[in-house]
Amino acid sequence: MELGYAHKARSPNIYERYTWGRGAMSSRMIGWYGDGNGYFGDLDLRPERADTVSAAIEFQGAAQGWSLRIAPYYTHVDDYIDAVFVKKLTGSMMTASPWVQLQFANQRAEFFGVDVSGHATLRKGADRDATTLTASLAYVHGQNLSDGGPLYHQMPLDIKVGLEHRQGALEAGVDLEWVAAKNRVDATRNEPRTAAYALVNLRVAYTLGSVRLSVEGENLFDKAYSLPLAGFRWGITRPPVRCARFRGAGARSMSALA
């Protein structure tokens, strides 16, 4: 069993403090979030100060080849650097726009969650030969204590399960990832909701002397899905589109443009 406490400070970066442009175009150039909103800084921002208490308990069956680790945590942040609403932004030709202009500001926030991970050896052979099951779960709940809303860009529940088999020179594995729907969103930044999805990845490898040949298939069942923490693709001549990994086992992805 482990118990921990940590204190961490983070000073505002150059964009959060020194960006001065308040026009629609200049403020939207501060777009590393990829969300289409405009941002400008605040010279009076104070450094974030975070205090975290955590615990972890781990169970092991050395003879049977299994382990389970459960690690909950809680973090309180004073002067958390978030953003507050300033005004709505208009689109081209003064049309209505979903984007808003925001200013970086100090607020209070908290995070709590749990990380769970484990593995079990289903079959043990000679040398490195084995069949192993792995699993992990990650959950975080971020809350803005100043305005009472959810924090921006928080990953929903993420569960991963993998099965790996090794027999001599042959290696094979299959991974399943399930991500819950993202329904806790930051209304101040018009953060979009995303649906739940499940992905299956498959991999096979064979070693011939010093040469290793491998084949991998990501998103094996060609599932279209939206990434919970992605941005928007937007422009003058087309409506904004949520960035996603589109259909295709090659795991093609669209980059966020802002």
Q: Which domains does the chain have, with CATH numbers?
A: 2-8+48-80+107-245 (2.40.170.20)
Is the pLDDT confidence value at 148 over 60? Answer: yes
96: number of Cβ within 10 Å: 8
Residue 92 has what pLDDT? 57
- Between 181 and 92, the more confident residue is 181
Is the pLDDT confidence value at 237 over 90? Answer: no
Lowest mean pLDDT segment, chosen from 25-39, 65-79, 208-222:
25-39
Q: How far apart are CA 138 and CA 54, in angstroms?
A: 15
Residue 91 has what pLDDT? 63
Q: Is 186 helix (H, G, I), strand (E, B) or coil?
A: coil
Summarised one tens digit per residue, pLDDT across range 83-102 is 999 998 876 555 567 789 99
Q: How far apart are CA 107 and CA 148, in angstroms?
A: 11
Which tokens sit at 84? 């507050």
